[in-house]
Amino acid sequence: MIYLDNSATTFPKPDVVYDFMTDFYRKHGVNPGRSGFDAAIETEGVVWDTRKMLTSLFNGDDPNRLTFSYNASDSLNMILQGLAVSGDHVITTMLEHNSVLRPLYHLQMSKIIEVTYIPFDEHGYVNPDDFKKAIRNNTKMVVVNHCSNVIGTIQPLAEIGKICKESGVLFVVDCSQSAGVIPIDMKAMGIDVVVFTGHKCLMGPTGIGGSYVMEGVPVKITRFGGTGVKSAQKTHLEEYPYHLECGTLNIIGVAGLHAGLKWVLEQGIDRLHENEIKLWDKLRLGVQKIENVITYCAKSIENQNPVLSLNIKGFEAGDVGTMLDVDYNIACRTGLQCAPLVHTLLGTDKIHGTVRLSAGPFNTEEQIDFTIQAIEEIASIRREVVASSKTSGVNSL
């Protein structure tokens, strides 16, 4: 299989991730933070180490404020519902994933908040000035997807963060697609909360994600339960990390994330990105030469992640995905990719979305050449059918 669905989850993971998870769970699969025996303390050590590595990745200060959850969707629910209060106004973008949109729709439909959706331009980028114009007296927060999971464009966080800081508005960033492949500096970019998922560019397994919340950001506790400490207390603990964590952590997930992030840092974030974007550029340039192939917001490698959305005129995206899978053993994702407003703005909502091809660290130039060839062959089917219908007088497409 040629795996070009790395935006959904990176696959495969580096061998060290599989090895470390197996070894760790055999030797340290015990509950951390609850007991004083050696294995529990060693397990807590890996958890703490992972908090520290992620805190430093985002340029936060306090590893306790790096909290773990199941995934980005889980943390976005806690953050957005924990920050919003009745009468708030929230600004977000049309690039968001349903992990942001649905919690906001829920709050909007419950008449708790009002939401403004900022569009992106023809190249796939939001304009920071639009946020400035949209800010009102009751604007509580701006929520932005750092990198689109449909078109791969990387948004100007520092400029938006500056506007938020000047206006006293909180800035929440969904870095599901960027953490591990694009640098994120919460302080330099004026970010109050980052939310990440472990199973994409951080190279961890599924079922682990989290957030980093800057000091003083008023996230209400929306989940209550066991923390392993202060068990006689009736209220959930205010202090971080307990503030946003309850119950036993996904220890094996944390271990895998630990190994994944370590691997990413050893490889170098910039080098990983450089290699992947080279593949994206080759793919983009290759398919853009093919008659009847339309690519979306794929202009240059500047501020871009290796995610390419395309369609072939005359075909449903889903059918192209099936042909790539069945005839060429190429794995991709088709449809709306959980980001419906991107398609509304591209106009691809009416044609059932796009074919999304997303490269990862283990793809090769040969795989990209093969994929370009596959798309050329699929596109040529239509050309042949159109040509034969012209000669036979039958309009079959």
How far apart are CB 5 and ligand PLP at their closest, in Å?
10
Query: How many residues line the site for ligand PLP (CB under 6 A)?
Result: 12
Among 32-40, 170-178, 210-218, 291-299, the segment contacting ligand PLP (CB under 6 A)? 170-178
Among 131-139, 173-181, 291-299, 354-362, the segment contacting ligand PLP (CB under 6 A)? 173-181
Strands (E), the chain: 2-3, 66-69, 88-93, 113-118, 139-145, 170-174, 193-197, 209-213, 293-295, 307-312, 330-331, 333-335, 354-358
Beta-bridge partners for 230: none
Within a 10 A sphere around the Cβ of 350, how many other Cβ atoms?
A: 9
Residue choice 10, 71, 139, 367 for contact with ligand PLP (CB under 6 A): 71
Residue choice 77, 176, 311, 334 for contact with ligand PLP (CB under 6 A): 176
Within a 10 A sphere around the Cβ of 87, how many other Cβ atoms?
A: 11
Q: Which is nearer to ligand PLP, 55 or 149 (CB)?
A: 149
The strand pair at 88-93 and 333-335 is best described as unpaired
Least Cα distance to 367 among 299, 276, 303 occurs for: 276
Q: Which is nearer to ligand PLP, 67 or 73 (CB)?
A: 73
Per-residue binding string, ligand PLP, 262-301, x by CB under 6 A, is: ----------------------------------------
Residue choice 10, 197, 305, 309 for contact with ligand PLP (CB under 6 A): 197
| 3-state DSSP assignment of residue 173 | strand
Residue choice 4, 53, 54, 72 for contact with ligand PLP (CB under 6 A): 72
Q: Which two tokens stand for residue 57?
A: 């990745």
SS3 percent helix, strand, coil of the chain, rounded to 5, is 45, 15, 40
Per rule CB under 6 A, is residue 177 in the interface with ligand PLP? yes
Chain residues that interact with ligand PLP, rule: CB under 6 A: 71-73, 97, 99, 145, 149, 174, 176-177, 197, 209
